[in-house]
Amino acid sequence: MSDVEIGGTVPQGQTIIINQEKKKNGIGTAGFVLAIIAFCFCWLPIGNFILWFLGFLFSFIGVFKSPRGLAIAGLIISLILIIVILTVFGAALAALL
C-alpha cells in the first residue's frame, strides 16, 4: 500500500514540511559591516572616509531590498559616524590653527 491515497491527497496524521529559502540582503549586511569598521577606525583620515562612504552607499542601497534590518542599522551608524568624523577633524583642524 502507498502512503498517498487515490487522488493524490495525503492521509490524515501526516506532517508535510516545506523548507522555504530565507531571503538575504548581502549588500545591506556589507554596508552594516563597513559602517562598524569605519566607526572603529574613525580616527584615520583617508581610509575612514572611504569606509564610511562605502558603508553609507551599501546600506542605502540595501534599504530598498528585503530584509532591511542590518541595512537600516548600517545607515543609522553611517549618519552618526559622519557627525563624529566632522567633529574629530574639525577639532584637529582648529588645534592646528
Q: Are 41 and 33 in contact (CB under 8 A)?
A: no
How far apart CA 32 and CA 36 sit, in angstroms, is 6
Residue 66: phi and psi, rounded to 5, are -105, 140
4 occurs within a structural domain: no
Q: Are 54 and 97 in contact (CB under 8 A)?
A: no
65 occurs within a structural domain: yes
Would you state the pLDDT for residue 27?
A: 95
pLDDT > 70: what percent of the chain?
89
91 occurs within a structural domain: yes
Number of domains forming the structure of the chain = 1
10 occurs within a structural domain: no
Give the C-alpha distances (Å, rounded to integers) separating 69 from 3, 59, 73.
43, 10, 6
pTM to 2 decimal places: 0.73
15 occurs within a structural domain: no
Which one has a higher pLDDT value, 2 or 36? 36
pLDDT > 90: what percent of the chain?
47
35 occurs within a structural domain: yes
Range of the domain at 75: 26-96
Residue 24: phi and psi, rounded to 5, are -130, 145
pLDDT tens track for 35-72: 999 989 877 777 888 999 999 999 999 999 989 999 99
